[in-house]
Amino acid sequence: MEEFVGFQLKNLGDVLMTIPALALIKKYRPKSRLVMVVRPQTAPLLENHPLVDEVIAHQFQPRAFDWRNSRRLAQYLRKKEPVASFHFDGQQRGGILAFWARLPVRAVGLGILGVGGLKSSWLYNKKANLKPKDGSWESLALSHQRLVAEVLGVEPEPDIDPPKISLPQSSKDKAKALLETWPGTGPIVGLTLRGRQKEKSWPLDYWAQVMEILRREKNARFYVTGEKDDAVLAKSLASLGSVDLANFCGQTDLLEFVALAAASDLFLTIDTGSAHLVSLTSTPLATIFTATNPLQWGALSRKQAIICYNWALARFGLLKGSFVGYPVIRPEEVAKVAASLLA
């Protein structure tokens, strides 16, 4: 049985952007076994995904090297005799592990726009030029697919439809219990207000106005989710408007968050990991891009709307593309998009 190893030692969104590439492997090598090496905090997502046969959680610190555990992992991979490794993250750590394991094909992508240069390129013996010929941007998910396609000798398939994540019953039960604390009959709308980068944020009073419009027009019910520290932000939002909302910040792990999103009728968020988590479900999604590249980092949701500042589109040369941009994203525009997704 063929075995492939994928390395993705970056953050949540980066991990989920690899899923279409994993689907391509399984489509053309259906009997193969797929192992993914990721950070411990993202491991649960792939442990519960039907495309992945084994997940190795590797504690990775960019400026610290754990020689003992790294050597042990390299020895483990060597014994498994994979036919190839895909280095989706371009991180030096994965290259070292694959080199030590003497994997016969160690594939990495070069020229992905906006991702940065590759360190220690000698670690890899298969280097795919992924820079688009016309210099345009493309989805990071497609870049990962093109890396896999070059090794397998197939064509990338941007419209491939990967299977959904298999959620544990305990995660579904937790989501159900949370929502039962917030009674009502209207559609359930989830919100994420903040990401790791401040420039991605959208004003709280705008969120409050969106809630008021959707409550009036759709009788919507709202909850906010995020990390524990986001609970203060959620309380501030609640104080700004006349619409009540549930504060679930810090109350869910990754799988429980996905279950909560799956039980919702709509999710509204700025560009952050929440959007990518929602894309693991069938729940409609609306994402606000204030500063980042919607073409490269847009979530893989099948039913979504992307709302952009003109400044963000101009920054990446996307003003003449397919995205709808606004000089300022007003609450009325977001509410209108949200209402159309609830229709």
Percent of the chain with pLDDT over 70: 97
Do 64 and 199 share a domain, yes or no? no
Among 119, 152, 185, residue at a domain's last position: 152
- Asked if residue 85 and residue 190 are part of one domain, the reply reads no
Residues 143 and 176 in one domain: no
- The CA–CA distances, whole Å, from 109 to 36, 91, 152, 190, 341 equal 17, 11, 14, 36, 36
Residues 63 and 208 placed together within one structural domain of the fold: no
Reported as a single tens digit per residue, the pLDDT across 63-89 is 666 778 888 999 999 999 999 999 998
Same domain, 59 and 113: yes
Choose among 243, 282, 238: nearest CA to 264: 282
In a shared domain, residues 141 and 282: no
For the stretch 146-200, pLDDT in tens is 999 999 999 999 999 999 999 999 999 999 999 998 878 899 999 999 877 778 8
Question: What global pTM score does this model have?
Answer: 0.92
Whole-number average pLDDT of the chain? 92
Average pLDDT over residues 214-228: 94
Same domain, 173 and 315: yes
Same domain, 288 and 146: no
Q: Which domain holds residue 61?
A: 3-152
CATH number at residue 67: 3.40.50.2000
pLDDT, mean of residues 38-60: 94
Please write the tens of the pLDDT for every residue from 314-342: 999 898 878 889 999 999 999 999 999 99
pLDDT, position 43: 96
Instruction: Say if residue 144 is in the same domain as residue 173.
Output: no
Q: Is the pLDDT of residue 114 over 60?
A: no
The domain total for the chain is: 2
Q: Are residues 116 and 176 in the same domain?
A: no
pLDDT recorded at residue 113: 53
Alpha-carbon distance of 40 to 42, in angstroms, equals: 6
Q: Are residues 133 and 201 in the same domain?
A: no
In a domain, residue 41? The reply is: yes
Whether 17 contacts 298, CB under 8 Å: no
